[in-house]
Amino acid sequence: MLSKRFRYIPLLLPALFFVACGRDLPTEEDQLLPGDGVRVETTWEYRWGESPRDENGKFQYLKPYEATESTATSSPESGDISADPRGGAHGAHPGQALDPGKEGSSGWSPLPFPEQPPGRADHKIVWQRVALPDGQWRDPALYIYSVDLIFEAYIDGKLIYKFGNLNVKSPRFEGWPFHIIPLPQDLQGKYLYLRVYSDYPDIGIYHSVVLDDRADLIEWLLLSNVELLAFAGALLVIGAFSFLHFLRTRESWTHLAFSLVCLTEGYRALADSLYPQYVYGNMLIWHYTSWVALFIFIPSLLAFFRSIYTGSERLIMTYLFRTQILVSAIYLVYMSFDLIGVMVSIPFRLFALLFIIVIAYLEVRRAIRGNIDARIILAGFSIYGINAALVMFMDMGLLPDLRLNTHYSLFAFVCALGLVVIRRYGLMREENVRYALVNEELETARRLHQSLLPADPPEIDGLDLSVAYISQASLGGDYYDFIRIDSTQVGIMIADVSGHGLPAALGVSMAKIAFSEHTSLADRPERLLELTRVSLVDKLQRQFMTAGALYVDTEQGIFRYASAGHPPLAFVSANREQVEWIRPRGHLMAALPFRGYRMEERPFMPGDRIVLYTDGLSECRNPEGEFYNARRMAEALKEAPAGAEACSHYLLHDMSQWARSSVFEDDVAIVVVERKAA
């Protein structure tokens, strides 16, 4: 029976292995270069030890400043062997058997990038250089993925960049950020020199070096870690909701452990991406906090298993949990004195390997007994366990650097844990109690959502205002609001958050808060939308929002309108002979390049009418699949009776006739503004 159940496992192991190997760094074939970027990786040279200084106190290794076309020879003492700017190496090229520099000990030697420079011995300083290639760049800069550990960069004998302080007796570790080194425009053929210090096992440049315009490099870097950022965001959101659920119910310690697992791993994934360096450049803070999160993550994971185990399995996990609490406490103290020592610690990795083996054994044993939770966990843990073991073998030097990380496989594992949490939560409740709680929560959310929308339009001299709103779910994504400035001026907001239900409602609540922060700009619709976008766009995540901002002044007889990708405003003249569609330029609010919003100002005479609406109106379809288009809507607006409320009701009635149904595909919000006759 056992063989029948597990006869397909050998076939799955290769697939699990490749899925587990989530690369920390993309290969050169996979990684697309930015703009006109070129790799500067195969033509580096190096030499060991500190450079002597000349009579002016300048480093002698900084000469020559440029690579020449001719081949020159000099003595090993000077370090000048030969030059070839087309090859980019000085004296010897990668792949040649000849090494005039004798592994960097007496001259410049070719660097076997991305491997470490050979012949280090006890050296803590290495000089590295490369001849910069030709290219057309307006603002050239050199991107380096990482340098072990601190360094200075020189061109033409001048210091152009530094990371850390090498001019002290014992230079201090500053972290592992990426580097963008600004270069002069006349860089062709010049040598870039790096003076590097490291008391770490590795030294010098690591993985990737790219030359391009600075703006292109920054854009490339921002887009290169989007997947990791999405995983981190998902884990943080899941962890936050799980923690809030625990605080609300206090029913299961499994929820608390699961939330800590998600929050700590989500933070670690975020800290290991490139984005934190843009927020706060001191990478030591991110390294320290990432390792603190790791020392919380492992006990939280063990606590999760302890909470779902029973009998002897629970006893074993209790011992492991207590042991890891002690180990984490010791390493947290140790980390305050030696961060690098913690990062390369072998005992810590041996403990982690022990936990992986024990958890795998216990879960396999439970799965054989028919436990559904164990089978779910094994589906994710098989991926993560292989990946984590490979990474730890790499860290201990038992495997070559395969450029792996555990974030992707751990995300799959956490998803499996999440399924177990959900399943166990379902089993804790009877069906009727569970449905009652869900309905109660939805009703509360619906009331909160309704409270975000104004009950009645404000009273404005000379204006007739009306609102019609139909939601196709208990929680909708359409939003509108009024800003009464005085008795003759009013600002009107209308917005549509993508999606339906709770995600859309959360977007509406964020839109409400964002708009409320800038109500003083109601008379400047374009600025109101611009600042609202700044407040809101980072919080929408994968959602987007369209919005329109209208300002009406009855005393001056004008209105102003700006749009953020919203359906066009319908302006109906007093004689009802024509309908003008007004849509100033402006992109929707999302994580897209921002190009500003435009505002249009028009006269607003007695009898004129303005109609704002969401796309639930314009995208309503009849049974034949035809949209409620602008022509049909314009005819309805011309025929609509006087009065704002009568107009909105007429539009809804005409829309229902078109769709041949009173139930629409999307939420519908209509705001009608009509100037009263004098």
Which pLDDT value is given to residue 556? 92
Which pLDDT value is given to residue 55? 87
Residues 141, 285 within the same domain? no
Spell out where 537-585 has E strands.
545-553, 558-564, 569-572, 579-582
Residues 401, 468 within the same domain? no
- Give domain status of residue 93, yes or no: yes
Instruction: Report the candidate in 514, 578, 566 with the shortest Cα–Cα distance to residue 540.
Output: 514
Q: And the tokens for 249?
A: 């119910």
Which pLDDT value is given to residue 83? 35
- Give domain status of residue 436, yes or no: no
Distances (CA, A) of 487 to 460, 491, 559, 604, 607: 5, 12, 15, 16, 19
Kindly report the pTM of this predicted structure: 0.52
Which pLDDT value is given to residue 19? 47
Cβ neighbours of residue 499 closer than 8 Å, sequence gap 6 or more: 477, 507, 543
Cβ neighbours of residue 85 closer than 8 Å, sequence gap 6 or more: 66, 67, 68, 69, 131, 188, 189
Which pLDDT value is given to residue 629? 84
CATH value at residue 619: 3.60.40.10
Which pLDDT value is given to residue 237? 92
Angle (deg, nearest 10), helices 283-308 and 311-335: 170
- Give domain status of residue 10, yes or no: no
User: d(Cα 38, Cα 209) in Å, to the nearest integer?
Assistant: 9
Residues of the chain with pLDDT under 50: 1-20, 24-30, 70-98
Digit-coded pLDDT (tens) for 396-451: 878 877 767 778 888 888 888 888 888 887 777 666 576 677 677 767 766 776 77
Alpha helix (H) ranges present in 544-592? none
How many distinct structural domains can be found in the chain? Answer: 3
Residues 167, 42 within the same domain? yes
Which pLDDT value is given to residue 528? 92
Residues 510, 626 within the same domain? yes
> Which of 411, 428, 445 is the last residue in one of the domains?
428
Residues 458, 387 within the same domain? no
CATH value at residue 126: 2.60.120.260
